[in-house]
Amino acid sequence: MGQYLPIVVLAILAILFGVGSLIASKLLAPRRPNTAKGAPYECGIVPSLEAPERFPVSFYVVAMLFIMFDIEIIFAYPYAVASNSLGVYGFWELVAFSAVFFVAFVYVVARGALDWGPVKKPRRLVSRDGDILSESRSVSTTIRRVGFEGRETREKVSV
C-alpha cells in the first residue's frame, strides 16, 4: 500500500486544487452580467433566434474515416521502422489490418458518405434537334441563386 501513497496524495491534491479554483473564482470574480456576455459567441457569427442546423451525418463519418486512417498510419509506421525484425508475420498482420480498414472504407463510400451536396434525382431526357434536354429545364430550374438562403427577403421598390 505504501507504494501507492504518492499517487493517492497527488490525486487528492489535484481534486483539492480543482475545487479550490472553482470556489475562488465564484468568490473573487466580478458579477456584472449583461446580454452581450450571456449571448453565445460562435466564431464571429451573430447568433439568431432560429434553431441551429444540424451537421449531416456524413460530416461525422468523414471525421471517423480520418481518425481510422490515422490509426492505420500509426500502426504502419512501427512496421516500417522494424520490418526486418518482424518478418513475414508482421507483414501479413499489417496487410490484414489494412484490409479491414479498406473494407470499412469501401462500405462507407458505397453508402454515400463522401457524396456531398444535394441528392441528384434522375430526369427524363428528351431529344430535340439533335440535343438531349431535360423536360423540366427552364431558367428558374437551372439557375440557382447562391447566398440568399436564410436571409430576409426585401421587396425591391422601383422608382
Tell whether 87 is covered by a domain. Answer: yes
Class of residue 70 by CB neighbours under 10 A (exposed 0-12, middle 13-18, buried 19+): exposed
Tell whether 97 is covered by a domain. Answer: yes
> Exposure pattern of 85-99 as b/e (b: 16+ CB <10 Å)?
eeeeeeeeebeeeee
Read off the pLDDT of residues 129-143 as tens digits, 9 standing for 90 and up.
Answer: 655 555 555 655 555
Q: According to the model, what pLDDT value does residue 45 have? A: 65
Tell whether 96 is covered by a domain. Answer: yes
Tell whether 18 is covered by a domain. Answer: no
Domain range for 105: 57-110
Q: How many structural domains is the chain composed of?
A: 1
The cell numbers describing 46, all together, are 451573430
C-alpha 133/C-alpha 126 separation (Å) is 5
C-alpha 133/C-alpha 127 separation (Å) is 6
Tell whether 74 is covered by a domain. Answer: yes
Confidence of residue 96 (pLDDT cuts 50, 70, 90): very high
Q: For residues 7 and 154, which has the higher predicted lDDT (pLDDT)? A: 7
Alpha helices in the chain (DSSP H): 5-28, 35-38, 57-81, 83-110, 139-142
Read off the pLDDT of residues 20-77 as tens digits, 9 standing for 90 and up.
Answer: 999 999 999 888 888 777 777 666 666 566 666 666 677 787 888 888 888 888 888 8
Residue 101's SS3 state is helix
Q: According to the model, what pLDDT value does residue 125 have? A: 60
